[in-house]
Amino acid sequence: MFLAYPCLHAVLLAIITTVIAEQKCDPVGKEGNESPKELALLKRLEQLKGLSFNITDNVGENEQYVYTFRMCQEVFSNMSNSGLVQFNKQMNKWTVVGRINETHIVGGSKWIILTYKGGDSYNNHCGNEKRKAIIMITCNRNTLSSGFTIVTEEREKEEDCSYVFEFESKLACPLEESHLSIGSILLITFASLVAVYIIGGFLYQRLVVGAKGMEQFPHLVFWQDLGNLVADGCDFLCRSRPQNVPAAYRGVGDDQLGEESEERDDHLLPM
C-alpha cells in the first residue's frame, strides 16, 4: 500500500508534465492542416515560448488594469488556454482577453502580428462578442524581447473589438544576407592562409632555427628556385625574338668582306 502512493505520485507528475509540455499556440485548422506560413512564423518565435510580460494600464483615476501575456503557454492553469489575461484591481476580477488555442499569426518584412482570439465575452460592449488580443512584434536587433506596452483597447464599436499590444524583438527582423560573393570569400580565405604561413614560418625560423636576415623567410630556397623557374618560363613565352633561328639572307657588301692578305695580288705587280 505504501509503495503504491509513490508510484501514483510519479504517474500524476508525469501526466502533469506532459500536459504542460503540450501547451502551445494552436493556429486555426485541424492538426496537420494548419497554414504552413503560420507554423513557420510560430517556429520563428520559438525562443519566446513561455516568456511572460506584464503591463499596468491606468485608464483613469478609478480604473487600473494589469495585463499579463504569455507566449504560447497558459498564463494560469485554472484559466483554460489563457494566453493573455486582464486583472481589474478595483473589482478584483480576472478576465481572459485571448486564448492560445485560437491563434492567428501573420508576418511582414520587419513585423509579426500574433492574435489570440476566443477570450471572455464583453458584457455591455461590442455586441457581447468574445474578446481578442492583438500583439504586434516589431524588429529590434538589439533585444530578444523588451518594451511590452498596451497601444489601445478598441471597444467603442458594434463588433470586431480588440486589445492591441506591442513589444520589440530581434526575431521579427529579416535574416541578414551576406554581401560577399564566393570569389571574395575564397580570396579572403586564401589571403588569411598566406598570412598565417608567412608569420608562422617567420617566427619558427627566427625563434626555433635561429635564422637571420632573408633566411627568416620560410622555405626561402624553394621560393627562390620557383621564382627563377617562373622567370625562365616567362622569358621563353614572352621574349620578342626567338633564339637559335638561322639568320635571314642578306646581300654581300664591302663591309661584310673580310680583310684579305696583301700578298694575294703580289704576282700581278711588274717585276
As a whole number, mean pLDDT of residues 47-52 equals 92
Q: According to the model, what pLDDT value does residue 87 have?
A: 95
pLDDT of residue 166 exceeding 90, the answer is yes
Q: According to the model, what pLDDT value does residue 75 have?
A: 93
Closest CA to 118 of 136, 104, 137: 104
132 in Cβ contact with 117 (< 8 Å):
yes
Res. 216 pLDDT band, cuts 50 70 90: confident
As a whole number, mean pLDDT of residues 116-137 equals 92
How many C-beta neighbours within 10 Å does residue 201 have?
15
Cα distance between residue 10 and residue 152, in whole Å:
46
Give 130's DSSP letter.
Answer: B
pLDDT of residue 3 exceeding 50, the answer is no
Which residue has 580565405 as its cell numbers? 189
Q: According to the model, what pLDDT value does residue 211 have?
A: 81
As a whole number, mean pLDDT of residues 12-40 equals 69
Cα distance between residue 115 and residue 112, in whole Å:
10
37-64 per-residue burial string, b: 16 or more CB within 10 A, e: under 16: ebeebbeebeebeebebeeebeeeeeee
Rg (CA), the chain: 44
Q: What is the mean pLDDT of the chain?
A: 81
Q: According to the model, what pLDDT value does residue 10 have?
A: 43
Cα distance between residue 39 and residue 29, in whole Å:
11
pLDDT of residue 5 exceeding 50, the answer is no
> What digits encode the pLDDT tens for the residues 80-90?
899 999 999 88
pLDDT of residue 228 exceeding 70, the answer is yes
pLDDT of residue 8 exceeding 60, the answer is no
Closest CA to 151 of 167, 170, 139, 169: 167
Res. 241 pLDDT band, cuts 50 70 90: low
pTM flag (> 0.75): no
Is 60 strand, coil or helix?
A: strand
Res. 220 pLDDT band, cuts 50 70 90: confident
Q: According to the model, what pLDDT value does residue 261 have?
A: 54
Q: According to the model, what pLDDT value does residue 41 have?
A: 92
pLDDT of residue 123 exceeding 90, the answer is no
Cα distance between residue 237 and residue 225, in whole Å:
18
Find the range with the poorest average confidence among 26-40, 41-55, 152-166, 175-189.
175-189
Cα distance between residue 59 and residue 150, in whole Å:
11
Domains and CATH numbers, the chain: 24-172 (2.70.130.10), 182-239 (no CATH)
Burial class from Cβ neighbours inside 10 Å (0-12, 13-18, 19+) for residue 66 reads middle
pLDDT of residue 97 exceeding 60, the answer is yes
Q: According to the model, what pLDDT value does residue 222 have?
A: 84
Residue 132 C-alpha cell reads as 481578442
* Proportion of the chain above pLDDT 70, given as a percent: 79
Q: According to the model, what pLDDT value does residue 267 have?
A: 56
